[in-house]
Structure 1
Amino acid sequence: MTSSLSHIAAAARLPSRLSAAVAIGIAGAAAVYATYRLRWRVEGPFLLQRCTVLASTLTEAELAAEADEYREVDVRLDLNGTIEEVAAAGTLSRRLGEARIDCRNMLLLPGFVNAHTHSTEMLSRGLIPPVPLDLWVLRLLSTVAEAIGCFGAPSDALHLAALHCAVESLLGGCTSVLDHCFVSSRADAEAITSAYRAVGVRLFFAPMLNDDAVKYEGYIPVASDAAARNAMASDSASACACARGLAADGTLRTEQAASDPAACARAVALWEELVCALHRPAEGCSLVIGPVTVYSCSLPMLREAAAIRRRHRLHGHIHLLESRAQKLEACRCARFPGGSAVRLLDEAGFLHVEGTVTSCAHACWLEADDMRLLASAGAAVVHNPLSNLRLGSGVCQVRRCLEAGVAVGLGCDGACSSDGQDITEAIKAACLVSTLATPEYKQWLSARETLRLAYEGGAAAVGLGARGGKILAGRLADLTLWDLTSLSLLPQTDPASLLALGRPQAGPAAAG
């Protein structure tokens, strides 16, 4: 943590009250993390004895809900961060040099995956009230820019924000994070990745780039009555606030946002540079190609992004059909084949790249044909219930996606639209909001199913696939231990249900 804490100290010396407050807050979070992590900060390999586990985490097969009972096991972890052996409780003996952890009264789970977030939003958390996505984006641009401007260098701000995001994610049980983060240089990217490395969280780093001629202008859909409202606003006799648009002069855009070929070239060059400099999966940092959205990226840019992925076998990540307005934009805009944003991604070659996974954040407004296309491409959806509810964007139809064969993970989204990085809050929200999808209660997500979205679905969404999401020999030892004696998990009636639907007051103990 030395490098990270030195950045905090440097930022805290800046004269700005905001930068000092941010730095002190993150220093506090880092201190909590450091104190907390020291409990298990011993040299491996490890032997975890008498862990309580869910039966479904011990098998590749799908288990019916009634068969997903609790079991007690011993788990051996090797020095390479892999699960070496899983056996019935009390059957594995401690080897010479092995650190033994008594896991009685602890629930062992695969680490959760925060499969969609934006760490830079940690800098201006709390500054934007709940408003629709279009208004929120404009406020985000100004608030984050102002917050970054309080620091001596943008990279310092981005490092602190990523450190804060990583610590909060870890304390909520996440061992992996996909950070869809806007960067403008290699220095920015190195500052972010070094923060995750210091904390020890597995990072899927998706530099979020676009080629709008005016930044994120394409993110805001064209109003169907834009011309009429502009005329109304220009008529002093009938002018009213309801006719004004989001442009600086109060007008509404009447045509699709223009793209900038030079911006596209810069984005592609930066992605290529970062792949060479930072893509180190074995060291815990995987570069993911992350165009911001089909609305702020031209078709040539999406094709270039797909080409980079094919050259380097990289996973992809993108925002998809987050709001009702984006769905309407796709339906009426000629560049979307058949009125489908999913088909546009497919025809651009971005949706399916052999040997990789494309994860699509939000996906609140999918049609049945969209779901079938996602499933056939092996793509995944990332459900972000907190931000979608906060911004009134809609609700992802998780059950329908799962039935169509689409993998679904969970994300916290950025802290300006979700107010935090505690994945257990997203788990609870995902479980409860599923009750709005249908009156047929048997179709609602159960607590166990929602937990599984956070670890097994999340692993699939970021491309860990058969390497994570289970407690099996040969899988990654990205595991968490939950203290079943903490108040929020008492009485020990059904720990999985209490974890998914309660409010854990004590974080997990990092086991690997």
Structure 2
Amino acid sequence: MPQTLIRNATLLTMDATNGSKPFAGDLLIEAGRISAIGKDLAAAPDAIVIDGRNRLVMPGLVNAHTHSSETFFRGRYEGLPLEIWLLYAYPLLMGPVVNERLLYLRSLLLAMESLRNGVTTICDDFFDPPSHDLTRLSTVFKAYEDAGIRANVSSAVMNVHTLDALPYAREIMPLHLQEKLDFGSPMSAATYIDYCRSAFASLHGKAGRLNFMIAPSAPQRCTPELLQACHELAVEMAVPLHTHILETKTQAVTGHEFFGKSLIAYMGDLGALSRNTTIAHSVWVSDEDIAMMGEARCSVAHNAVSNQKLGAGIAPVRRLIDAGVIIGLGTDGVSSNDTARIFDVMRTAGLIHSVSGPDYDRWIHADEILAMATIGGARSAMLENITGSLEAGKAADLLILDLTTLNFTPLNDIAKHLVFAENGSSIEMVMVAGQIVVRDGRMQMIDAASVLAEIRELVPAHLTAHGELEKRNAVFHSTMAEIHRRATDKVIGLHRYAGDAAS
């Protein structure tokens, strides 16, 4: 592969030296990595030269938390809190698993949307009940390999019965409905760890940009033995332990109901809070929780859009930052967000925290949000030595944006334009590991038109079948609604309302 030289560009490196301050210069790419950044760089005679005039070069965005399992449910649901929404997006009464071709197309669709909108790295908390299957997991890896994206991919696990992971559920749900929920014998910690080791052996490091990560779904959904075994293996393999904690009002009371303490304190007691721990959401955390998280140097994937759509609340991002918690940005799944665009999350995060109180010095600023969307997301994925900033030696995961578009005209402050004005439409080129994967809005490694045509042909039948599952699972709606109501009533006494605790 010849060298690539981007000459006379505006560079936004997001490194420790320059941060979000742009400067003019050149960037040289060699063997998929950035080999030099500076002015008047020399290149080999056969180097590919890209004219960077009126162009911004910045790191690719990192989606710190998403679920490819939801990609066919875009635009399907609204007006439902998480516990009710889960009934329909992840039915308790399951049907046949999606076939492998649809599984491939579903993953590919997520990768396509991500790349075209500037996301070069995704953390896919892939959930594929009722079993863990290396062949199906490899299908997801194959889709990401073909698209050209960088990804951490899990095979998310839970081994506590759903009704035993929800406060009040056994009390509220009629016995005849409880009897419908026979999921068979739960997976043991040893069995899951054995599966994970097989995934590491066969898939981890694939194509030089695809990794396996460990994902116990949530502390209340997993046995202590499973959580501890997952954390030990995550530390051993230097990958994230990716989990969901304190997303909703129901989860805010769950720890106290089941364990007599918050779910963060419970994780701490199990020894499962560390630099490897990445927590999706973290909305209903207390000051004590935040202090523990900061001391552990764990990460939070801030899902600013999906938290609003599901009515979860606003995460206390300023307090998390002050405590030393690493913050990345996530879209969550396409069903609870409806896009895979991190630019949407950046804008939302730049707006919602301004309602946190009158002390505007503590609002979240554009440069901080850019850091979350790039190097912060990379840190949350434990990929900060590979991606997230433009630095010599790192992978050439980058975006080239046209600075002459409406979104940058007139040009004032690039960081603020990126957070509050840009939506991805100014992107001209996307590179992952030095490979051009998007040029002028067109995928370069796959035939996007044929993929979309096949999805339009095959998916309607799948959605029709899913509609029947929704009808079957509606029998649990009133139970989940009552759980949500009781938890909402109780949580006011445990925490300030999340909208008032957002700073």
- TM-score grouping bracket, smaller chain normalisation: 0.7 to 0.9
Q: Distance in 2 between matches of 1:414 and 1:407?
A: 21
Change (3 A) 1:310 1:447: closer
- Moved segments of 4+, more than 6 Å: none
Shift of 1:169: 0.9
| Residue segments in structure 2 that go unaligned for 5+ positions in a row | 435-503
Residues 484 and 495 in structure 1, CA contact (< 8 A), matched pair in contact too: no
Quick one: distance in 2 between partners of 1:418 and 1:143? 21
**What amino acid maps onto 1:386 in structure 2?**
V
Change (3 A) 1:283 1:246: farther
Q: Which SS does the other structure have where 1:292 is aligned?
A: coil
Partner residue, 2:9: 51
The reply on whether 1:349 has 2:298 as its aligned counterpart is no
**Maintained 8 Å contact 1:306/1:348:** no
Kindly indicate whether the alpha-carbon contact (under 8 Å) linking 1:358 and 1:380 is maintained by their aligned counterparts in 2: yes
Q: Give the corresponding residue for 1:413.
A: 332
Matched position secondary structure for 1:291:
coil
- Residues 203-248 of structure 1, C-alpha deviations (whole Å, 9 max, x = no match): 11121111133xx44453326xx75xx5xxxxxxxxxxxxxx5987
| TM-score, structure 1 as length reference | 0.78
Q: d(CA) in 2 for partners of 1:364 and 1:380?
A: 13
Q: Secondary structure at the match of 2:311?
A: coil
**Residue 337 of structure 2 is aligned to residue 393 of structure 1:** no
Please state how far the C-alpha of 1:383 moved relative to its aligned partner: 0.1
Residue 164 (str. 1) matches residue 109 (str. 2):
yes
- State the one-letter code of the partner of 1:510: V
Contact 1:210–1:264, Cα closer than 8 Å, also in 2: no
- Residue 86 (structure 1) aligned with residue 34 (structure 2): no
Q: Which residue is 1:74 aligned to?
A: 26
If asked which structure has higher relative contact order (CA below 8 Å, sep 6+), I would say 2
SS at match of 1:417: coil
Deviations 1:379-399 (A, max 9, x none): 101100111000000111111
**Kindly tell me: are residues 208 and 179 of structure 1, through their superposed partners in 2, closer, same or farther at Cα, counting changes over 3 Å?**
same
Pick from 151, 161, 175 the counterpart of residue 120 of structure 2.
Answer: 175
- Larger CA deviation: 124-133 vs 322-331: 124-133
- Among 367, 386, 391, the residue aligned to 2:286: 367
Report if the CA contact (8 A) 2:167-2:257 is conserved. no
Residue pair 1:130, 1:390 contacting (<8 A) in 2 also = yes
Matching residue's letter, 1:190: S
Code of the residue aligned with 1:51 in structure 2: it is A
The alignment partner of 1:415 has SS state of coil
Q: 1:130: how far off?
A: 2.6
Q: Tell me if 1:113 matches 2:62.
A: yes
- 2:137 matched residue in structure 1: 189
- Look up the SS of the partner of 1:344 in the other structure: helix
- The answer on whether the counterparts of 1:134 and 1:220 sit within 8 Å (CA) in structure 2 is no
**CA distance in 1: counterparts of 2:295 and 2:390, whole angstroms:** 28
Partner Cα separation in structure 1 for residue 272 and residue 291 of structure 2: 16
> Hey, what's the Cα distance between the residues in 2 that align with 1:59 and 1:187?
38
Q: 1:70 to 1:305 in 2, by over 3 A?
A: closer
Establish whether residue 480 from structure 1 lines up as the match of residue 399 from structure 2.
yes
8 Å contact kept, 1:211–1:259: no
Q: Is the 8 A contact 1:364 1:397 kept in 2?
A: yes
Task: Answer yes or no: is 1:98 the counterpart of 2:47.
Answer: yes
Q: Secondary structure at the match of 2:121?
A: strand
Size of the alignment, in residue pairs? Answer: 427
Structure 1 contact 482–509 (Cα < 8 Å) conserved: yes
Give the partner amino acid of 1:99: I
**1:268-307 alignment to 2 at 5 Å?**
268-280=193-205, 283-307=208-232
**Paired residue secondary structure (1:416):** coil
Q: Which runs of 5+ in 1 are unaligned?
A: 1-42, 231-244
Alignment of 1:168-247 (within 5 A): 168-183=113-128, 184-213=132-161, 216-222=162-168, 227=171, 245=173
**Matched-pair contact (CA < 8 Å) for 2:188–2:226:** no
**1:193 CA drift (Å):** 0.7
Tell me whether 177-186 or 466-475 shows the greater mean CA deviation.
Answer: 466-475
C-alpha separation between the residues in 2 aligned to 1:138 and 1:448?
38
RMSD (Å) for aligned C-alpha atoms: 2.6
Q: Are residues 448 and 262 of structure 1, via their aligned partners in 2, closer, same or farther at CA, if it must alter by over 3 Å?
A: closer
Hey, what's the Cα distance between the residues in 2 that align with 1:396 and 1:404?
Answer: 14
d(CA) in 1 for partners of 2:174, 2:394: 50
Cα distance change of structure 1 residues 291 and 404 upon mapping to structure 2, 3 Å threshold: same
Q: Write the distance in 1 (CA, Å) between the matches of 2:249 and 2:34.
A: 44
Please, which moves more after superposition, 289-298 or 483-492?
Answer: 483-492
Q: Does 1:447 align with 2:366?
A: yes
Whether the 8 Å contact between 2:14 and 2:371 is mirrored in structure 1 is no
Deviations 1:87-124 (A, max 9, x none): 13xx1133222111011111111111001000010122
Residues 114 and 248 of structure 1: CA distance in aligned 2, closer, same or farther (over 3 Å): farther
Query: Residues 103, 477 of structure 1: CA spacing in aligned structure 2 closer, same or farther, 3 A cutoff?
Result: same
How many Å separate the matches in 2 of 1:428 and 1:143?
34
Say whether the 8 Å CA contact 2:238–2:276 is kept in structure 1. Answer: no
Superposition deviation, residue 373 in structure 1: 1.5
Partner residue of 2:488? none
Partner of 2:253: 328
* TM-score, structure 2 normalization: 0.79
1:38 paired residue number: none
User: Percent same amino acid at aligned positions?
Assistant: 28
8 A contact 1:212–1:259 mirrored in 2: no
Name the amino acid aligned to 2:113: E
1:123 aligns to 2:77 (yes or no): no
> In 2 relative to 1, CA 168–44 (structure 1 residues): closer, same or farther, beyond 3 Å?
farther
Match of 1:60 in 2: 16
Question: Secondary structure at 1:178's aligned position in 2?
Answer: strand
Q: Quick one: distance in 2 between partners of 1:406 and 1:269?
A: 31
Task: Say if 2:403 and 2:426, in contact at 8 Å, map to a contact too.
Answer: no
SS of 1:109's partner is strand
> Aligned pair in 2 of structure 1 residues 44, 402: CA closer, same or farther (>3 Å)?
farther
What is the deviation of 1:372?
A: 1.9
**Partner secondary structure for residue 471 of structure 1:** coil
**Contact 2:166 2:254 survives alignment (8 Å):** no
Within 1, Cα distance between the matches of 2:66 and 2:101? 19
| Counterpart contact for 1:124–1:143, Cα < 8 Å | no
1:36 matched residue in structure 2: none
- Secondary structure, in 3 states, of the residue corresponding to 1:161? helix
1:377 positional shift: 1.7
Please report how far the alpha carbon of residue 370 of structure 1 lies from its aligned counterpart in structure 2 after TM superposition: 1.5
Alpha carbons of structure 1 residues 391 and 207: separation in structure 2 relative to 1, 3 Å = same
Match of residue 376 from structure 1: 295
**Partner residue, 2:486:** none
2:72 aligned partner, one-letter code: L
